[in-house]
Structure 1
Amino acid sequence: MAKHLQQGKRAELAAATFLQKSGYGIRARNYRNGKAEVDLIVQRGIFLVFVEIKSLRNTRHGYPEERIGRTKTSLFHQAAASYQEEENWDKEIRFDSIAITFFPQAIKIEHFEDAFS
Protein backbone atom coordinates (compact mmCIF):
# COMPACT_ATOMS: atom_id res chain seq x y z
CA MET A 1 0.00 0.00 0.00
CA ALA A 2 1.28 3.49 -0.87
CA LYS A 3 2.58 5.67 1.98
CA HIS A 4 -0.14 8.30 1.58
CA LEU A 5 -2.85 5.62 1.75
CA GLN A 6 -1.26 4.11 4.87
CA GLN A 7 -1.12 7.56 6.44
CA GLY A 8 -4.78 8.16 5.55
CA LYS A 9 -5.88 4.89 7.16
CA ARG A 10 -3.78 5.66 10.24
CA ALA A 11 -5.35 9.14 10.46
CA GLU A 12 -8.89 7.75 10.15
CA LEU A 13 -8.23 5.25 12.93
CA ALA A 14 -6.73 7.96 15.17
CA ALA A 15 -9.69 10.29 14.49
CA ALA A 16 -12.27 7.56 15.16
CA THR A 17 -10.55 6.63 18.43
CA PHE A 18 -10.34 10.30 19.45
CA LEU A 19 -14.04 10.88 18.73
CA GLN A 20 -15.15 7.72 20.54
CA LYS A 21 -13.17 8.77 23.61
CA SER A 22 -14.92 12.15 23.36
CA GLY A 23 -18.36 10.52 23.53
CA TYR A 24 -19.24 10.19 19.83
CA GLY A 25 -20.68 7.01 18.36
CA ILE A 26 -19.46 5.92 14.95
CA ARG A 27 -22.32 5.49 12.46
CA ALA A 28 -20.36 5.11 9.21
CA ARG A 29 -16.83 5.15 7.84
CA ASN A 30 -15.92 6.22 4.31
CA TYR A 31 -19.51 6.84 3.26
CA ARG A 32 -19.69 7.30 -0.53
CA ASN A 33 -22.24 8.82 -2.85
CA GLY A 34 -20.92 9.05 -6.40
CA LYS A 35 -17.68 11.06 -6.29
CA ALA A 36 -18.52 12.39 -2.84
CA GLU A 37 -17.12 10.81 0.32
CA VAL A 38 -17.42 11.49 4.03
CA ASP A 39 -14.56 10.05 6.10
CA LEU A 40 -16.59 9.56 9.28
CA ILE A 41 -20.21 10.02 10.23
CA VAL A 42 -20.66 10.15 13.99
CA GLN A 43 -23.42 10.95 16.41
CA ARG A 44 -23.47 12.61 19.79
CA GLY A 45 -26.85 13.38 21.26
CA ILE A 46 -29.15 14.94 18.68
CA PHE A 47 -26.24 15.85 16.39
CA LEU A 48 -25.29 13.84 13.35
CA VAL A 49 -21.77 14.97 12.54
CA PHE A 50 -20.07 14.62 9.16
CA VAL A 51 -16.30 14.61 9.63
CA GLU A 52 -13.55 15.36 7.12
CA ILE A 53 -10.10 14.14 8.18
CA LYS A 54 -6.91 15.67 6.86
CA SER A 55 -3.39 14.63 7.82
CA LEU A 56 0.19 15.64 7.11
CA ARG A 57 3.60 14.41 8.20
CA ASN A 58 4.79 17.93 9.11
CA THR A 59 3.66 21.54 8.98
CA ARG A 60 6.46 22.97 6.81
CA HIS A 61 4.03 23.78 4.00
CA GLY A 62 0.91 24.54 6.00
CA TYR A 63 -1.58 22.78 8.22
CA PRO A 64 -3.89 19.87 7.44
CA GLU A 65 -7.08 21.87 8.03
CA GLU A 66 -6.03 24.29 5.26
CA ARG A 67 -6.29 21.48 2.71
CA ILE A 68 -10.08 21.41 2.54
CA GLY A 69 -11.11 23.25 -0.62
CA ARG A 70 -14.41 24.39 -2.11
CA THR A 71 -14.80 21.36 -4.36
CA LYS A 72 -14.33 19.03 -1.40
CA THR A 73 -16.85 20.90 0.74
CA SER A 74 -19.38 20.87 -2.09
CA LEU A 75 -19.02 17.11 -2.57
CA PHE A 76 -19.06 16.67 1.21
CA HIS A 77 -22.43 18.45 1.48
CA GLN A 78 -23.77 16.35 -1.37
CA ALA A 79 -22.82 13.10 0.40
CA ALA A 80 -24.22 14.40 3.70
CA ALA A 81 -27.57 15.20 2.09
CA SER A 82 -27.70 11.73 0.57
CA TYR A 83 -26.93 10.08 3.92
CA GLN A 84 -29.59 12.15 5.70
CA GLU A 85 -32.15 11.12 3.11
CA GLU A 86 -31.18 7.43 3.34
CA GLU A 87 -31.41 7.50 7.14
CA ASN A 88 -34.47 9.76 7.23
CA TRP A 89 -32.52 12.07 9.57
CA ASP A 90 -34.46 15.18 10.57
CA LYS A 91 -32.51 16.31 13.64
CA GLU A 92 -29.46 18.56 13.90
CA ILE A 93 -26.37 18.13 11.71
CA ARG A 94 -22.91 19.60 11.83
CA PHE A 95 -19.82 19.56 9.62
CA ASP A 96 -16.54 19.07 11.50
CA SER A 97 -12.96 18.52 10.49
CA ILE A 98 -10.14 16.76 12.23
CA ALA A 99 -6.57 17.77 11.46
CA ILE A 100 -3.84 15.28 12.30
CA THR A 101 -0.12 15.92 12.11
CA PHE A 102 2.23 12.96 12.45
CA PHE A 103 5.41 14.33 13.98
CA PRO A 104 8.36 11.94 14.47
CA GLN A 105 7.76 11.63 18.22
CA ALA A 106 4.07 12.56 18.57
CA ILE A 107 0.67 12.85 16.95
CA LYS A 108 -1.23 16.13 17.12
CA ILE A 109 -5.02 15.89 16.74
CA GLU A 110 -7.21 18.99 16.44
CA HIS A 111 -11.00 18.83 16.24
CA PHE A 112 -12.75 21.76 14.57
CA GLU A 113 -16.49 21.79 15.25
CA ASP A 114 -18.67 23.55 12.66
CA ALA A 115 -15.64 23.76 10.39
CA PHE A 116 -17.65 24.65 7.30
CA SER A 117 -21.32 25.19 6.53
Structure 2
Amino acid sequence: MAKHNDLGRLGEDLATNYLQNIGFAILDRNWIYQKKELDIIALKDDYLVVVEVKSRSTDYFEHPSDAITLSKIKYLTKATQAYVDLKEIKQEVRFDVVSVIKDNDNFKIEHIEDAFIAPVD
Protein backbone atom coordinates (compact mmCIF):
# COMPACT_ATOMS: atom_id res chain seq x y z
CA MET A 1 0.00 0.00 0.00
CA ALA A 2 1.24 3.50 -0.80
CA LYS A 3 2.61 5.55 2.06
CA HIS A 4 -0.14 8.19 1.75
CA ASN A 5 -2.76 5.41 1.97
CA ASP A 6 -1.12 4.17 5.18
CA LEU A 7 -1.27 7.71 6.60
CA GLY A 8 -4.91 8.03 5.57
CA ARG A 9 -5.87 4.75 7.26
CA LEU A 10 -3.93 5.70 10.41
CA GLY A 11 -5.57 9.13 10.41
CA GLU A 12 -9.03 7.57 10.22
CA ASP A 13 -8.15 5.18 13.06
CA LEU A 14 -6.89 8.06 15.21
CA ALA A 15 -9.96 10.16 14.38
CA THR A 16 -12.27 7.27 15.26
CA ASN A 17 -10.56 6.76 18.63
CA TYR A 18 -10.68 10.49 19.33
CA LEU A 19 -14.39 10.69 18.51
CA GLN A 20 -15.23 7.64 20.63
CA ASN A 21 -13.31 9.16 23.56
CA ILE A 22 -15.48 12.28 23.43
CA GLY A 23 -18.75 10.36 23.29
CA PHE A 24 -19.46 9.66 19.63
CA ALA A 25 -21.09 6.32 18.82
CA ILE A 26 -19.54 5.11 15.57
CA LEU A 27 -22.09 3.57 13.20
CA ASP A 28 -20.01 3.03 10.07
CA ARG A 29 -16.59 3.66 8.59
CA ASN A 30 -15.66 3.95 4.93
CA TRP A 31 -19.27 3.58 3.80
CA ILE A 32 -19.45 3.64 0.01
CA TYR A 33 -22.27 4.71 -2.26
CA GLN A 34 -21.66 4.97 -6.02
CA LYS A 35 -17.91 5.51 -5.56
CA LYS A 36 -18.60 8.12 -2.90
CA GLU A 37 -17.10 7.33 0.49
CA LEU A 38 -18.14 8.62 3.88
CA ASP A 39 -15.15 8.27 6.22
CA ILE A 40 -16.95 8.08 9.58
CA ILE A 41 -20.66 8.09 10.37
CA ALA A 42 -21.59 8.51 14.02
CA LEU A 43 -24.26 9.56 16.46
CA LYS A 44 -23.72 12.38 18.95
CA ASP A 45 -26.26 14.49 20.85
CA ASP A 46 -29.22 13.44 18.67
CA TYR A 47 -27.32 14.22 15.45
CA LEU A 48 -26.17 11.92 12.73
CA VAL A 49 -22.64 13.21 12.26
CA VAL A 50 -20.79 12.58 9.01
CA VAL A 51 -17.09 13.11 9.60
CA GLU A 52 -14.65 13.79 6.80
CA VAL A 53 -11.11 12.92 7.88
CA LYS A 54 -8.13 14.65 6.32
CA SER A 55 -4.65 13.42 7.20
CA ARG A 56 -1.39 15.08 6.28
CA SER A 57 2.26 14.56 7.10
CA THR A 58 2.56 18.34 7.36
CA ASP A 59 0.38 21.43 7.13
CA TYR A 60 3.19 23.35 5.42
CA PHE A 61 1.47 23.68 2.04
CA GLU A 62 -2.18 23.46 2.98
CA HIS A 63 -4.14 22.79 6.12
CA PRO A 64 -5.96 19.48 5.66
CA SER A 65 -9.39 21.03 6.15
CA ASP A 66 -8.70 23.38 3.21
CA ALA A 67 -8.79 20.35 0.90
CA ILE A 68 -12.57 20.13 1.21
CA THR A 69 -13.86 21.75 -1.95
CA LEU A 70 -17.41 22.53 -3.02
CA SER A 71 -17.43 19.46 -5.30
CA LYS A 72 -16.30 17.31 -2.36
CA ILE A 73 -19.08 18.78 -0.20
CA LYS A 74 -21.64 18.05 -2.92
CA TYR A 75 -20.68 14.41 -3.21
CA LEU A 76 -20.50 14.00 0.58
CA THR A 77 -24.04 15.35 0.86
CA LYS A 78 -25.28 13.08 -1.95
CA ALA A 79 -23.78 10.00 -0.31
CA THR A 80 -25.13 11.12 3.08
CA GLN A 81 -28.64 11.44 1.64
CA ALA A 82 -28.37 7.89 0.32
CA TYR A 83 -27.22 6.68 3.76
CA VAL A 84 -30.07 8.50 5.51
CA ASP A 85 -32.61 7.05 3.08
CA LEU A 86 -31.23 3.50 3.20
CA LYS A 87 -30.93 3.38 6.99
CA GLU A 88 -34.13 5.38 7.56
CA ILE A 89 -32.31 7.87 9.77
CA LYS A 90 -34.54 10.33 11.59
CA GLN A 91 -31.86 12.51 13.24
CA GLU A 92 -30.74 15.84 11.90
CA VAL A 93 -27.46 15.61 9.98
CA ARG A 94 -24.29 17.52 10.81
CA PHE A 95 -21.00 17.52 8.91
CA ASP A 96 -17.74 17.63 10.88
CA VAL A 97 -14.13 17.62 9.75
CA VAL A 98 -11.29 16.02 11.65
CA SER A 99 -7.77 16.94 10.57
CA VAL A 100 -4.91 14.68 11.59
CA ILE A 101 -1.48 16.26 11.14
CA LYS A 102 1.78 14.47 11.80
CA ASP A 103 3.95 16.44 14.22
CA ASN A 104 7.34 14.71 14.50
CA ASP A 105 6.49 11.37 16.15
CA ASN A 106 3.04 12.52 17.32
CA PHE A 107 -0.20 13.50 15.67
CA LYS A 108 -2.22 16.65 16.22
CA ILE A 109 -5.98 16.23 15.92
CA GLU A 110 -8.26 19.16 15.15
CA HIS A 111 -12.02 18.74 15.18
CA ILE A 112 -14.27 21.23 13.42
CA GLU A 113 -17.91 20.69 14.35
CA ASP A 114 -20.61 21.71 11.88
CA ALA A 115 -17.87 22.47 9.36
CA PHE A 116 -20.19 23.06 6.40
CA ILE A 117 -23.82 22.83 5.37
CA ALA A 118 -25.26 20.91 2.46
CA PRO A 119 -25.50 23.14 -0.60
CA VAL A 120 -28.89 23.71 -2.19
CA ASP A 121 -28.97 22.61 -5.83
TM-score (norm: length of structure 2): 0.93
SS of aligned partner of 1:78: helix
Distance (Å, rounded) in 1 between the aligned partners of 2:96 and 2:3 = 25
Does residue 20 of the first structure (1) align with residue 20 of the second (2)? yes
> What is the root-mean-square deviation in Å for CA atoms of aligned residues?
0.8
Distance (Å, rounded) in 1 between the aligned partners of 2:62 and 2:91 = 35
Q: How does 1:91-102 map to 2 (within 5 A)?
A: 91-102=91-102
Count of matched residue positions in the alignment of Structure 1 and Structure 2: 117
Aligned-pair CA distance for 1:61: 0.4
The residue type equivalent to 2:7 in the other structure is: Q
Distance (Å, rounded) in 1 between the aligned partners of 2:45 and 2:88 = 16
Aligned-pair CA distance for 1:78: 0.5
Does residue 106 of the first structure (1) align with residue 103 of the second (2)? no
The residue type equivalent to 1:39 in the other structure is: D
Aligned-pair CA distance for 1:45: 3.1
**Structure 2 gap segments, 5+ residues each:** none
Aligned-pair CA distance for 1:44: 1.4
Aligned-pair CA distance for 1:54: 0.4
Percentage of matched positions with identical amino acids: 34
Distance (Å, rounded) in 2 between the aligned partners of 1:111 and 1:99 = 7
Distance (Å, rounded) in 2 between the aligned partners of 1:105 and 1:46 = 36
SS of aligned partner of 2:61: coil
- Name the counterpart of 1:4: 4
SS of aligned partner of 2:31: strand
- Name the counterpart of 1:78: 78
TM-score (norm: length of structure 1): 0.96
Which is worse superposed, 97-106 or 7-16? Answer: 97-106
Distance (Å, rounded) in 2 between the aligned partners of 1:6 and 1:56 = 11
- Name the counterpart of 1:63: 63
| Structure 1 residue ranges (4+ consecutive) displaced by more than 3 angstroms after TM superposition | none
The residue type equivalent to 1:88 in the other structure is: E
Q: Deviations over 1:88-112 (max 9, x none)?
A: 1122110000011011132110010
**Structure 1 gap segments, 5+ residues each:** none
